[in-house]
Structure 1
Amino acid sequence: MTITTEFRLRSSALPLVSIPTTFPPDEIVCSHALCIEPDARVFIVEINAEDDVSEAQLAALDEVVTVTLLGERGDKTVFKLTVELDDSISPAFNPERFDGVKMKSTTITPEGWHETKEFKDYETFHDFHITFEDHGISLDLISITSDQSSSNNATGEGLTDRQREALTLAVSRGYYESPRQVTAAELAEELDISQPSLSSLLRRGERQLLTSSLDIQESLNTLSR
């Protein structure tokens, strides 16, 4: 079983946000990251060639230690950047904390990082989330899905249509962001139900997703007997 998450990381101390903040591109793409020492990372980044960002411009950024032009890929210019991490967030990027996390391409804007990551289980994602929040990096969850291909649960997530509707609305409206962008009362009004009914839908839906993702339904059934 794996957990695929889409989220935004927000902090002015995040590496590479200085590029779209300082230069013309609205966003850049990081296709690879490698730890070389506790406070430094190597990133492979792609920048629109038409934005005409040079090695010298990138090297002038305070966080950038070295720059290597790797060439062109389609309409993108590809660079390898060695970046010194801010002391306040460096521990959050320790790769030993997150064994089994697979990174997909990251989109970086002045507001932060937009990432899709695959985790081996929900507990690993939870640890990832808490670690970043503890180091002053906000994580706004956009979506989370589990791969049930290895599960014997024929109904997949096991959510009712109403639970799925409530959870989907809550995620899309920012209920699970920090700080929350919408209240439970506002969600209940949009669904035309009472606030206690909404809270019950979300609670039962969250429990079903967690038990399904953690594959612990059999243990819970045993304990409840």
Structure 2
Amino acid sequence: MSTVMEFTSPADEFPLGTVFENLPSVTVELERLIPHETLVIPYFWVRGAEAEDIEAAFEAHAGVVNLELIDSVDDEYLMRAEWEGEYYGILTALAESNISVLSGVGTKDGWNFEVRAEDRSAVSEFRTDCQAHGIPIEITGVHQLLAVHGDDYELTDTQREALVLAYERGYFDSPREASLEDVAAELGITQQSLSSRLRRGHRRLIAETLADP
């Protein structure tokens, strides 16, 4: 059975985090990772700054060898980055342990990750790898992947908790009875983390119930 792990890490732990030095108000959210030969190429959304300022902030880091603006929606920008192959950080450790990133949200205060492994041995391998390379992480939760009401929707229990609480508090009502801030405060997480859990939970439910197989 798949295992879901949540952990945190300092803001500057890998090159994506250097943007906070020059743009402390931005939020970075990982979209997906693409393994490519010896590189791990992340796609990520950045919000809270202009595109040219974001590109300049990332390009200032010596480890980043390529940065590309892929798309933009309102004031959010989808970026694609590559960094030097010898740089070894969290994303490399995750890729080598064959662990999938469910969500990764970074601010100047740090990174919050939710990842999925096929079994607990991959989690142990990842922790050992981080220790061996001096990568600071703090694991905040480890649990099994939860199926909802017997259906194979493959929501994590944190996604289900967020969706159900948002529904119960009236976040999805019109007009809304509760704000994103209200629900996040009750869960004890940031608004960015809650937004990520709701979006990924919606994606999983739609993929399993409405979309063509």
Calculate the TM-score normalised by the size of structure 2.
Answer: 0.58
Q: Cα distance 1:70–1:91, how it changes in 2: closer, same or farther (>3 A)? A: closer
Partner of 1:93: 92
Query: Secondary structure at the residue paired with 1:17?
Result: helix
In the TM superposition, residue 111 of structure 1 has moved relative to its aligned partner by 4.9
Secondary structure class of the residue paired with 1:107: strand
Identity of aligned residues (%): 16
Task: Tell me the CA shift for residue 74 of structure 1.
Answer: 4.4
Q: Is the 8 A contact 2:22 2:57 kept in 1?
A: no
| C-alpha distance after superposition, 1:105-140 (max 9, x if no partner) | 211234543110011111111111111121111221
| Distance across 2 between alignment mates of 1:130 and 1:77 | 34
Q: How does 1:139-178 map to 2 (within 5 A)?
A: 139-147=137-145
Larger fraction in strand: 2
Q: Which amino acid aligns with 1:145?
A: H
Structure 2 residues not aligned, in runs of 5+: 148-187, 189-213
- Secondary structure (helix, strand or coil) at the match of 2:124 reads helix
- Measured after TM superposition, the shift of residue 52 of structure 1 is 1.1
Q: Which residue of 2 aligns with 1:118?
A: 116
Q: Aligned residue for 2:78?
A: 78
> Aligned residue pairs: how many?
146
Q: 1:102 to 1:57 in 2, by over 3 A?
A: closer
Amino acid at match of 2:92: F
RMSD: 2.8
Q: Secondary structure at the match of 1:104?
A: strand
TM-score, L = length of structure 1: 0.55
Cα pair 1:25 1:47 within 8 Å, conserved: no
* Contact residue 35 and residue 95 of structure 2 kept, 8 A: no
Q: Secondary structure at the match of 2:126?
A: helix
Alignment correspondent of 2:33: 33
Residues 142 and 74 of structure 1: is their aligned pair in 2 closer, same or farther, counting only changes over 3 Å?
farther
Aligned mates of 1:25, 1:91 — CA distance in 2: 23
CA pair 44-97 structure 1, distance change in 2 beyond 3 A: closer
C-alpha separation in 2, matches of 1:116 and 1:91: 12
Question: Which piece of structure 1 moves more, 101-110 or 54-63?
Answer: 54-63
C-alpha separation in 2, matches of 1:120 and 1:9 = 22
- CA change 1:11–1:85 in 2 (3 A) is farther
